[in-house]
Amino acid sequence: MDKRNSWRVNRRRLTNMNERVVITGVCGTVGRELLKYYIDKDDYIIAVDINENDIAILEKNIKYENIKFIPLDIYDEYTLNIIEKLNPTAIIHAAVLKNTYYNEIYNKYYHNSNVSGTIKLAYRMLDSKCLKRFIFLSSDEAYNPTNFFGKDKQEVENILKKITIDGKVIQSVRFPFIVESKGSVYNIFKEQAKNNLSLTVTDKNIKKITANLSSFIFTWNDFYNNICENGVFNFDIGEEISIYELANDIIKQTNSNSTIKIIGLREGEVLERNMVKLNEKEVYNNIFRIY
């Protein structure tokens, strides 16, 4: 039995009631996979994404009745009013501005969305009597953050940790960069190689921790069905890869005439992440609580 089928079996065994689940950033790679997960779970889904073109295409391709698509800004008061009236029981906040390069340049704008917007959403929705669970999708960049993206994620985690409301579960989840993501270096390299363009690597020795989508959703199933306490959690599902070696592999796999161009480290970028993991305890398979 493969991982995807096994989590479906586990879900049916563990879940006894249908929920009303908000997924923000539903057109993103992780958001789409979560959408599939909750469709399989037979929940009522409130799918939110500001990208109206992508969400319109998604709506046309999803054959599922218990879903409402909302092509609006999740942080806008008008959107929040709509969602509030739908009485969600859980919110999974996957929406994020995640381009680390632009985040360094336009950090105030990114902070306003990724931090201020998230906290506004959390406080507003946690006021609802129906809402039982708020999950913020963080990042392993929040470990000893070297860039604004990681610092913003860590800031949200710290604010959410201080919120305690009876009957509400408030959680943050760290996980590695998903290799299948739209803006992943893997997909960028594939596109560059396809067009015989130079594959741009910031440094020959740079490494990155990545995970695949199937390992994320498999671990998500374990987390969602078994971990019902407040706190910050880490999905320990990643592996370290050499970006330079990845570029070489893609050139070979695609028989491309591309070459590799070293462009130098960007602001906030480091050769190798120093992820000091102190005060962590494994609470389920590959799921650690950060104290």
pLDDT tens-place string over residues 266-283: 888 888 776 767 789 999
Question: How far is it, in rounded angstroms, from Cα 179 to Cα 177?
Answer: 6
Q: What is the pLDDT of residues 43-55, one digit of tens each?
A: 999 999 999 999 9
Q: What is the pLDDT of residues 92-114, one digit of tens each?
A: 999 999 999 999 999 999 999 99
pLDDT tops 70 at residue 188: yes
Residue 132 belongs to what H/E stretch?
none
User: If pLDDT is split at 50, 70 and 90, which confidence band does 16 have?
Assistant: very low
Q: What is the pLDDT of residue 3?
A: 42
Mean pLDDT of 85-93: 98
pLDDT tops 70 at residue 17: no
Q: What is the pLDDT of residue 34?
A: 98
Specify the pTM.
0.90
Q: What is the pLDDT of residue 276?
A: 66
Q: What is the DSSP string of 12-53?
A: HHH--S--EEEEESTTSHHHHHHHHHHHHTT-EEEEE-S-HH
Q: What is the pLDDT of residue 1?
A: 37
Q: What is the pLDDT of residue 15?
A: 44
User: If pLDDT is split at 50, 70 and 90, which confidence band does 184 have?
Assistant: confident
Mean pLDDT of 107-125: 98
Q: What is the pLDDT of residue 126?
A: 97
Residues with Cβ within 8 Å of 20's Cβ and at least 6 positions away in sequence, in order, are 43, 44, 46, 86, 87, 88, 89, 90, 130
Write down the domain spans for the chain.
3-178+212-238+274-290
Mean pLDDT of 187-209: 94
Q: What is the pLDDT of residue 44?
A: 97
Tell me what the pLDDT averaged over the chain comes to.
92
pLDDT tops 60 at residue 10: no
193: three-class secondary structure by DSSP: helix
Beta pairing, strands 231-235 & 287-290: antiparallel
User: If pLDDT is split at 50, 70 and 90, which confidence band does 73 have?
Assistant: very high
pLDDT tops 50 at residue 6: no
Domain range 3-178+212-238+274-290, CATH architecture:
3-Layer(aba) Sandwich (3.40)
Residues with Cβ within 8 Å of 85's Cβ and at least 6 positions away in sequence, in order, are none
pLDDT tops 70 at residue 189: yes
